[in-house]
A and B are shown apart, each in its own frame.
Chain A
Amino acid sequence: MTSRSPSLKVTRLAYAYPDGTQALYGVDLTIERGERVALLGPNGAGKTTLVMHLNGILTAGHGTVEVAGLPVRPDTLREIRRRVGLVFQDPDDQLFMPTVREDVAFGPANLGLRGAELDRRVHDALERVGMLDAIDRPSHHLSFGQRRRVAVATVLAMEPEILVLDEPSSNLDPASRRELAEILKSLDVTVLMVTHDLPYALELCERSLIMSEGVIAADGPTRALLADERLLAEHRLELPYGFAVPAQPG
């Protein structure tokens, strides 16, 4: 539990679903504090299964997951779920309470916060995503981009050690996509971002992991990975038409 521990350390993680389908075949990865890392890979590579292990929704069949030094175990789940903030792909799944305020308060309230401290958390989190104005609105009246920002706020309010985002740029219009990128860059938390949006990974993450067939197939600077056409093709990854990895900015 020292401050030196990496934010996330996954060791030889393997998992098979109850129906027998094996999804993870020994995943190893370490993410240091303050890093922003993209997790890339084709559909069916096991990305979502991996994410579900990070806060103990699925229990490892083999191997370990540690969040800031704390192993994921049934008796640590409560603390683990505070430390790992999971942002789901569909904000409608994440925003289940009647109003934005109640949604953002749900997590910290489960941690036992009440009163002024709870209010402060809710305000801070909404301010960081620029959605403070919407605090008393019903979440289903917001635009899709706004809902995704509120979804980020719901986990920020828990002051997580690491933010895990599933396809953060999906279904966003270009302006919302850029606004979200600016918000993510402004946060000083560790970020793991699962995405198919390679330019978005390049913009936001220094480092990327490529996951394929249940293992981490490549790990390195995003720029280098995306420049390696053979590597991308091998794992069914493609840059958008006309997109070239720009040269290192000065």
Chain B
Amino acid sequence: MHVPDGFFDVPVSVGAGVLAAAGVAASLRGAKRELDDRTAPMAGLVAAFVFAAQMLNFPVAAGTSGHLLGGALAAILVGPYTAVLCVTVVLLVQGFFFADGGLTALGVNITLMAIVTAVVGWAVFRLITRGAPRGRPALVAASFVAALVSVPASALVFTVLFWLGGTAPIELGSVAAAMGGVHLLIGIGEGLITALTVSSVLAVRPDLVYGARGMTKALTLRTAEGEVQVGSAAPEAPSAGIGLRPVLVGGAIVAVLLAGVFSFYASSAPDGLEKVAADKGLSAQEKPHAVEDGPLADYAVKGVENERLSGGLAGVVGVALTVVAGGGVFYVIRRRGRDSDGMTPAGAQ
């Protein structure tokens, strides 16, 4: 999944680099707020864990195996800011020390694998757990969906970047369909592994799971008048650290940046894009899509004359679809969770 050099043209590589730098800068600030002077050792150890976990091969079917990408998992375990830092460091180390992933593609790789997966994973996780019944089943289900959505979301952003500055003459529709389809499958694996891992940590040290903070049960005092519930002494971090809003706002900014700034960038440097577009007939008017019936085939919005604008709209629509899909799943799980788990005492596991 590590994008090598030469895959994207210079403007997109640089643009993604700027985006990655901004995301990492924000995460540095955010992580420092949460972890204070513990940031360097804690994030370093978690980064080493992510690196090691990526080496753990999970058997999928006879003969084939998959491994974890870890962005969503890290976000749920240690919080989105720290997660972005950890995965970024893993990518930097892989790029510079192991020659894995192109150096000019570092911006793209960090954007796709660190920022998008952690932010989308965390946003979905929070959407589902907010207001859902407290307890392990809801957290584990939320982890599954969060990791599941994070992978195709990352693939979707890849497709947008590819449309902006990819160097290969493949139809956007086929790229989107291929990337989306393959990554939906990968996402299922990622979701299962993430959910199982979160579940196993919750069973032993629920206090370490960032996404489960504030889920601890109130303490009971036995007094003369009967039992009194008091707040737990444990820190309620997500409220103090990250609410849902900054994550959503951040996600929106990323989406707008991708759809807006990049299209502008690309149009001001028409060379690469124009050529690719001319070569392969990117727009819907010139050539019908090869996979007309695919779910993501009609990626460019029909009826919009300007192909660049149309693609930009398509990107925004894609982002919106992801959010809606995630929201729908969240709604269902929340409803079901309320019905079945209402009686489960929190933290009883």
Direct A/B contact, Cβ within 8 angstroms: yes
A residues apposed to B, CB below 8 Å:
18-20, 96
Question: Please, could you name 6 A-B residue pairs with CB atoms under 8 Å apart, sorted by A?
Answer: A18-B233, A18-B234, A19-B233, A19-B234, A20-B233, A96-B41
Category for how many chain B residues contact A: under 10
Nearest chain B residue, comparing its CB with the CB of A17: B233
- Name the interface residues of B40-57: CB closer than 8 Å to any CB of A: 41
Q: How far is the CA of A18 from the CA of B41 in the complex (A)?
A: 23
Which 3 pairs across A and B sit closest by C-beta, in order of nearness? A18-B233, A96-B41, A19-B233
Nearest chain B residue, comparing its CB with the CB of A19: B233
For B230-251 the 0/1 string (1 means CB < 8 A from A) is: 0001100000000000000000
Q: How far is the CA of A19 from the CA of B232 in the complex (A)?
A: 9
The majority secondary structure among interface residues of chain B is loop
Closest CB of chain A to B47's CB: distance in Å? 14
The majority secondary structure among interface residues of chain A is loop
Closest CB of chain B to A140's CB: distance in Å? 12
B residues apposed to A, CB below 8 Å:
41, 233-234
Closest CB of chain B to A78's CB: distance in Å? 14
Q: How far is the CA of A19 from the CA of B234 in the complex (A)?
A: 8
Hey, which chain A residues are within 8 Å of B41, CB to CB?
Answer: 96
Closest CB of chain B to A23's CB: distance in Å? 16
Nearest chain A residue, comparing its CB with the CB of B40: A96
Nearest chain A residue, comparing its CB with the CB of B235: A18
Q: How far is the CA of A70 from the CA of B234 in the complex (A)?
A: 32
Closest CB of chain B to A241's CB: distance in Å? 35
Nearest chain A residue, comparing its CB with the CB of B207: A19
Nearest chain A residue, comparing its CB with the CB of B232: A19
Q: How far is the CA of A96 from the CA of B44 in the complex (A)?
A: 11
Hey, which chain A residues are within 8 Å of B233, CB to CB?
Answer: 18-20
Nearest chain A residue, comparing its CB with the CB of B219: A20
Hey, which chain B residues are within 8 Å of A19, CB to CB?
Answer: 233-234
Closest CB of chain B to A138's CB: distance in Å? 14
Q: How far is the CA of A96 from the CA of B234 in the complex (A)?
A: 29
Q: How far is the CA of A96 from the CA of B45 in the complex (A)?
A: 11
Q: How far is the CA of A18 from the CA of B207 in the complex (A)?
A: 13
Closest CB of chain A to B66's CB: distance in Å? 30
Hey, which chain B residues are within 8 Å of A20, CB to CB?
Answer: 233
Q: How far is the CA of A221 from the CA of B210 in the complex (A)?
A: 49
Closest CB of chain A to B158's CB: distance in Å? 35
Q: How far is the CA of A18 from the CA of B233 in the complex (A)?
A: 7
Q: How far is the CA of A19 from the CA of B233 in the complex (A)?
A: 7
Hey, which chain B residues are within 8 Å of A96, CB to CB?
Answer: 41
Nearest chain A residue, comparing its CB with the CB of B233: A18
Hey, which chain A residues are within 8 Å of B234, CB to CB?
Answer: 18-19
Nearest chain A residue, comparing its CB with the CB of B41: A96
Closest CB of chain A to B130's CB: distance in Å? 26
Q: How far is the CA of A20 from the CA of B234 in the complex (A)?
A: 11
Q: How far is the CA of A96 from the CA of B41 in the complex (A)?
A: 9
Q: How far is the CA of A177 from the CA of B233 in the complex (A)?
A: 42
Nearest chain A residue, comparing its CB with the CB of B44: A96
Nearest chain B residue, comparing its CB with the CB of A18: B233
Closest CB of chain A to B285's CB: distance in Å? 59
Closest CB of chain A to B207's CB: distance in Å? 9
Nearest chain B residue, comparing its CB with the CB of A96: B41
Closest CB of chain B to A94's CB: distance in Å? 12
Q: How far is the CA of A19 from the CA of B41 in the complex (A)?
A: 25
Closest CB of chain B to A4's CB: distance in Å? 36
Closest CB of chain A to B270's CB: distance in Å? 48
Hey, which chain B residues are within 8 Å of A18, CB to CB?
Answer: 233-234
Q: How far is the CA of A96 from the CA of B42 in the complex (A)?
A: 12
Closest CB of chain B to A174's CB: distance in Å? 32
Closest CB of chain B to A223's CB: distance in Å? 42
Closest CB of chain B to A14's CB: distance in Å? 18
Q: How far is the CA of A166 from the CA of B41 in the complex (A)?
A: 21
Q: How far is the CA of A19 from the CA of B216 in the complex (A)?
A: 12
Q: How far is the CA of A96 from the CA of B233 in the complex (A)?
A: 31
Closest CB of chain B to A97's CB: distance in Å? 11
Closest CB of chain A to B310's CB: distance in Å? 52
Q: How far is the CA of A94 from the CA of B173 in the complex (A)?
A: 54
Closest CB of chain B to A181's CB: distance in Å? 31
Closest CB of chain B to A19's CB: distance in Å? 7
Closest CB of chain A to B239's CB: distance in Å? 18
Q: How far is the CA of A247 from the CA of B131 in the complex (A)?
A: 70
Q: How far is the CA of A20 from the CA of B221 in the complex (A)?
A: 12
Nearest chain A residue, comparing its CB with the CB of B45: A96
Q: How far is the CA of A240 from the CA of B134 in the complex (A)?
A: 50
Closest CB of chain A to B277's CB: distance in Å? 49
